[in-house]
Structure 1
């Protein structure tokens, strides 16, 4: 799995192949915290809404209109009042362990890789990425188990009229916490949940083995329109 990873140091070896970029921004360590408002130079189109800002929340989700502290995952659809992208919504505490990082890319090899990946997963669109926003939770711990680790990532890819979300998974420890993976919209007009991840006693190895695009450890979704279909619907 290619992970669009942003860090200054190379992590311990894992089954994931990291694609390195530099100079990410780090979010302050806290329990149930969030990033400040992050301006997006290229607006991200999310099911008909165009957003020029985003928040990276500690508990494994992204929101657009404000920070969100929620650490208790709910099964999608929520039928709520916010748009949310949840690569790994659970109770996370990185006060002692792990880093949460983000960066928007407007040029370079990250855009080239994103363009290649999207055209592979969604053929026929002649897609070209113009912006890639990467949020990475690197070796963060579950609350209150400070010895645990989970590494995962959300990649928001913009190309004008088209937009996509990739969710990547590295090494993830087993946990008894509930986990929600997927996305939801205001009033749940559009939503998608990866059902075998909601519940307790999640085995971290499963995250590195499953996929909807035949790339173990990765899920890909088109998010500019109402369809959530991908080239491959099977699990690997």
Structure 2
């Protein structure tokens, strides 16, 4: 499987609502992007989550079948004129994970095909909390914050994450990360991802 995210090696699914690369990251305190730090991070819902008593952190990868067909269709709809064809999809789901007595469900979906790669963030029921959502790279050469992060409008019954979108699909945010939302250049080196789950 090949996925470009700024020359990283390992993919970590962390229980506090983020994916990191090269090593796990246990920070439960959300931080504002850009971090200007030493990690690559994809954070659909970075906050203090606890799945020890309720909820699940699940992940799966796909290299054929209907999930790839749906990913291909979605990406070509959101990013027209690419003639994109998905050959790998990785889905991480935080399902009804606990935040101080409430439950939250969201996903990060990584999609690659050829030398093009995308990240989707999907939002279901969102608990009221303070959170950071978006992505950031080492030294913050490339970063994006979903509007509403660190505000009361991000969560609860009227969550801007669940009710809005940057691709006109309610509750979904999509980003191309091989050439970058902010103009980063596509990397010429293939990156092989091994998948690990961080456990509390």
Tell me the number of residue pairs that the alignment of Structure 1 and Structure 2 aligns. Answer: 181
On the 8 A contact 1:130/1:158 being kept in 2, the answer is: yes
> 2: distance between equivalents of 1:150 and 1:227?
27
Pair 1:126 & 2:126 matched: no
Measured after TM superposition, the shift of residue 226 of structure 1 is 2.8
Structure possessing the higher relative contact order (Cα contacts under 8 Å, 6 or more residues apart): 2
Alignment match, 2:98: 141
Pair 1:190 & 2:142 matched: yes
Pair 1:164 & 2:118 matched: yes
Question: 1:201 and 1:194, CA in 2 relative to 1: closer, same or farther beyond 3 A?
Answer: closer
> 1: distance between equivalents of 2:108 and 2:166?
15
Q: SS of the counterpart of 1:168? A: strand
* Aligned-pair Cα RMSD in Å: 1.5
1:39-78 counterparts in 2 under 5 A? 42-47=1-6, 49=7, 51=9, 53-78=10-35
Measured after TM superposition, the shift of residue 217 of structure 1 is 0.2
Measured after TM superposition, the shift of residue 72 of structure 1 is 0.5
Q: SS of the counterpart of 1:54? A: strand
Measured after TM superposition, the shift of residue 50 of structure 1 is 5.0
Alignment match, 1:214: 168
Q: SS of the counterpart of 2:165? A: coil
Pair 1:113 & 2:65 matched: no
Alignment match, 2:131: 179
> 1: distance between equivalents of 2:5 and 2:55?
29
> 2: distance between equivalents of 1:228 and 1:120?
20
Deviations 1:6-41, CA, capped at 9 Å, x for gaps? xxxxxxxxxxxxxxxxxxxxxxxxxxxxxxxxxxxx
Pair 1:81 & 2:33 matched: no
> 1: distance between equivalents of 2:109 and 2:141?
22
> 1: distance between equivalents of 2:57 and 2:121?
15
Q: SS of the counterpart of 2:4? A: strand
Measured after TM superposition, the shift of residue 208 of structure 1 is 1.6
Measured after TM superposition, the shift of residue 195 of structure 1 is 3.1
Which structure dedicates a bigger proportion of its chain to strand?
Answer: 1
> 2: distance between equivalents of 1:149 and 1:228?
33
TM norm structure 2:
0.86
TM norm structure 1:
0.73
Q: What are the ranges of 5 or more consecutive residues in structure 1 without an aligned counterpart?
A: 1-41, 230-236
Displacement over 6 Å in runs of 4+: none
Deviations 1:142-179, CA, capped at 9 Å, x for gaps? 1xx1x21000000000112000000000111223xx20
Alignment match, 1:151: 105
Alignment match, 1:100: 57
